[in-house]
Amino acid sequence: MTMREPRTSPIVPSYGERSLAELSASILASLNGDADGNVLQLPPAPRACLLIVDGLGWELLRAHQAAAPFLSELAFNSTPLTCGFPATTVTSLTSLGTGLPPGQHGMLGYQVAVPGSGRLLNGLRWPDDIDPLAWQPRPTVYQRAAEAGIGAVYVAAGRLRSTGLSRTAFRAPEFRAARSLGALAAETLTALHESERIMVTAYHGQLDEAGHEYGVASRAWAFQLAHTDRLAEQIAGSLPPDTMLYITADHGMVDVAPADRVDFDATPELRDGVALLGGEARARHVYAEPGAARDVLARWREALGDQAWVASREEAVSDGWFGPVDDGMAARIGDVIAAAASGGAVVATSREPNESRLIGMHGSLTAAEQLVPLLAFASR
């Protein structure tokens, strides 16, 4: 983070109004005629499909209209949502799955401290000794749908069937595996055609993978987006009658140049007094050693300058970064939160060698990461 750019303001997610939590809750409400719960005022319909495209930020979509003509047409008259903080998959998928902001569902980042244990929980590599249902006890939108007599099906790659995250975030009554883009469309459509009242969620993860690996400025990313556009068009083209298709994303992404990376493992001012480094490069949860929180906050502010919004836990909570925070959840949040304010990142080349090599990254409160599409398509 050597380049100095003027400080901008963080985009605090619009919890309760226009965030991912309201999307899934409003879809369920649109299916069961619950006008009060339909915060986004989605049209009533007996069937709905939610296509989640991992990593398809609103600004990225707007910048790639030629690669994604179908999605861009739908985007033309739409308004984006904010995804939530951190702008990361485990947090956003749980917001979608529960209809709750991060401060209430408790999936507060890619890696967060397990309070009292001295270790981190990585939401994508769930440890055997932590029960996902104890970590996130709130019922999911899918469970609520099933209780209301509405079918609830989740379609994704088979390896995602029974991960800790899927049990934390979805607990869908029915999971259908799809090994390819074509199978994802086919399984999604089959499920929709099988039931008169149903909510089908399809999850596509390859665009995010392309962004991390090659960068969002790469041809690989743009070509992958074109496949994603075709996927959405195929689903839209074969929907049963009276069906709404919604398309959204869990977060956007930015490419982080090598010169804009600060290495935690090689920077003593950042390491001093830190017991655990959580989160990810653009959204760090920093857990201080006992009594060191104020000094860590001051040193991180000094070291990162204008390149990050650095807040104490109390400041981040009172500024609404996580939404309303339930009592039991606050201890999972870092003593210090560092959210990248421009194109930089705090990598950790020793403890996170793989993550530190990624080109595209996400997590923070910039428009490129926070804004995600809310596209809607109604079948005839």
Q: Closer to Zn ion at the Cβ: 208 or 233?
A: 208
Q: Give the SS3 label for residue 359.
A: coil
Q: Closer to Zn ion at the Cβ: 59 or 208?
A: 208
**Nearest distance from C-beta of residue 280 to Zn ion, angstroms:** 9
**Nearest distance from C-beta of residue 240 to Zn ion, angstroms:** 32
Size of the site for Zn ion (CB under 5 A): 1
**Nearest distance from C-beta of residue 256 to Zn ion, angstroms:** 13
Residues 6+ apart with CB under 8 A from 124: 89, 90, 110, 163, 165
Strands (E), the chain: 47-53, 81-82, 111-114, 119-122, 151-156, 174-177, 198-204, 243-248, 254-255, 261-263, 274-277, 283-288, 308-312, 336-340, 345-347, 360-361, 371-372, 375-378
> In this structure, what token pair is assigned to residue 280?
């990810």
Radius of gyration of the chain (CA): 20
> What secondary structure does DSSP assign to 152-180, as a single string?
EEEEE-GGGTT-HHHHHHT--SEEEE--S
**Nearest distance from C-beta of residue 167 to Zn ion, angstroms:** 20
Q: Closer to Zn ion at the Cβ: 97 or 151?
A: 97
Choose which of 59, 208, 233, 335 interacts with Zn ion (CB under 5 A): 208
Q: Within positions 316 to 355, which residues make up the interface with Zn ion, using CB under 5 A?
A: none
Determine the interface stretch with Zn ion among 42-50, 201-209, 236-244, 366-374 (rule: CB under 5 A). Answer: 201-209
**Nearest distance from C-beta of residue 208 to Zn ion, angstroms:** 4
Q: Within positions 251 to 270, which residues make up the interface with Zn ion, using CB under 5 A?
A: none
Q: Closer to Zn ion at the Cβ: 22 or 208?
A: 208
Determine the interface stretch with Zn ion among 199-207, 208-216, 298-306, 372-380 (rule: CB under 5 A). Answer: 208-216
> In this structure, what token pair is assigned to residue 245?
């298709």
The footprint of Zn ion (CB under 5 A) covers: 208
